[in-house]
Amino acid sequence: HDIGHLPFSHAAERLILGEKGHEKWTATIIQSHYMRPFWQKIADTTGLRKSPEDVELDVLKTAVGERDVKVLGLKTTFTPWEKILSEIITADFFGADRIDYLLRDAKYTGITYGLFDYHQLIEMLRIICIEHLDRSVLKLGIDEEGIESCEALLMSRYFMHKRICHYSTVKAYTWHLKRFMKECYSDTEYLTDLDKYLEFTEHQVLADMSLAEKDPQHPGHYEAVSFLNYDKRCKAISLPSPLDQEDLNMMIKQHEIPDEKISLEINSHEVDYQTNLDFPVLKKSGVIVNGNELSKITIPIPASSWLYVSSDYEKRLRQSLGASE
């Protein structure tokens, strides 16, 4: 599922990979000559009576999921069971990918908000047949006994989102990192040639950044210096959305902040996303209900625009904006 990620995962994905994101590279790698021997071996030894091409397509559909298969423009359809299988990997709530990043981030940051009873959640997962528009549809849901583990997952996502994804220091470092990667790799073979893409690692980026820090003529010099030196990094200031950009422009002009010392990341939505337990639940009585009927927990994630400004101007700008430290 994640085989096509850039170095540092999602940090620079939108900036340099575009709409199709890392899923395009996931598909390219799965369909490449490197993977062909694996699909051939599976076809020859498992008794599935499938060709290597069929095995390749099965893996691709499971790894990428129905939504992104459509985004990639691949001409294929999903059976009801294939949809369920891919959702176990890729779905927004129950997907193994979503659960894994919470547990992994909790372990490597030491922030325990991401920990929850995932064993209970997995044990309580159910494939539930519901009626929708006069037809039966298979959905991934949960047994009534697992509702608390789902609530814990919801809360874990909220706190990890707040304490890691939208933590100002993380936002600042991510900002410098993705700008460095855009400056240095956008028009290179790393993003056009499969062999080069597979060689493209975090070690390569950090090595290039170390060289750029020492070379004032390097196109990524400013971002490298900012990323590698704590006292040089920009400060990230969270702003409410939707943003009154005219007022902000007046403040920037008032404080005479040079363009290279300030950047803006705009979110035009009032709410980034709203999460609740919107999935089927199988009650002990055999009745199927929506999870929201059994839980009152709904978590709106407020959308924020972010202002990235040199530390030289941070205090004055915060005072003008009325933003907290």
Comparing CA positions, the residue from 308, 258, 285, 41 lying closest to residue 145 is: 285
Residue type, 287: V
Whether 297 is in a domain gets the answer: no
pLDDT at position 146 is 95
Give me the phi and psi of 94, to 5 degrees please. Answer: -90, -5
Whether 187 is in a domain gets the answer: yes
pLDDT at position 98 is 87
pLDDT at position 297 is 85
Question: Which three-class secondary structure string do you get for 80-124?
Answer: HHHHHHHHHHHCCCCCHHHHHHHHHHHHHHCCHHHCCCHHHHHHH
Number of structural domains (the chain) is: 3
Whether 177 is in a domain gets the answer: yes
Whether 48 is in a domain gets the answer: yes
Residue type, 63: A
> Do residues 249 and 193 share a domain?
no
Sheet holding 135-143, edge to edge: 125-132, 135-143, 280-282, 288-290
The two most distant CA atoms of the chain are separated, in Å, by 73
244, two tokens: 């009154």
pLDDT in tens, 266-280: 775 554 555 788 899
> Do residues 38 and 83 share a domain?
yes
pLDDT in tens, 99-148: 998 999 999 999 888 889 999 999 999 999 998 778 889 999 999 999 99
Quote the domain boundaries for residue 177. 167-232
> Do residues 261 and 211 share a domain?
no
> Do residues 17 and 45 share a domain?
yes
Residue ending a domain, choose from 181, 216, 232: 232
Q: Distances in Å between the alpha carbon of 221 and those of 12, 203, 215, 227?
A: 17, 18, 6, 10
Whether 213 is in a domain gets the answer: yes
Angle at which helices 36-45 and 52-64 cross, to 10°: 110
Whether 77 is in a domain gets the answer: yes
pLDDT at position 148 is 94
Going 73 to 79 to 84 to 89, the CA torsion angle's sign is: negative
Q: What angle do CA 14, 16, 19 make, to 5 degrees?
A: 45
pLDDT at position 275 is 75
Residue ending a domain, choose from 57, 90, 123: 90
Which residues is 140 bridged to in the sheet? 127
| Local structure of residue 9 (DSSP, 8 states) | B
Positions in the chain whose pLDDT score sits under 70? 241-243, 268-274, 301-303, 323-325
Whether 286 is in a domain gets the answer: no
Whether 158 is in a domain gets the answer: no
Residue ending a domain, choose from 75, 90, 105: 90
Contact call for residues 51 and 41 (beta carbons, < 8 A): no
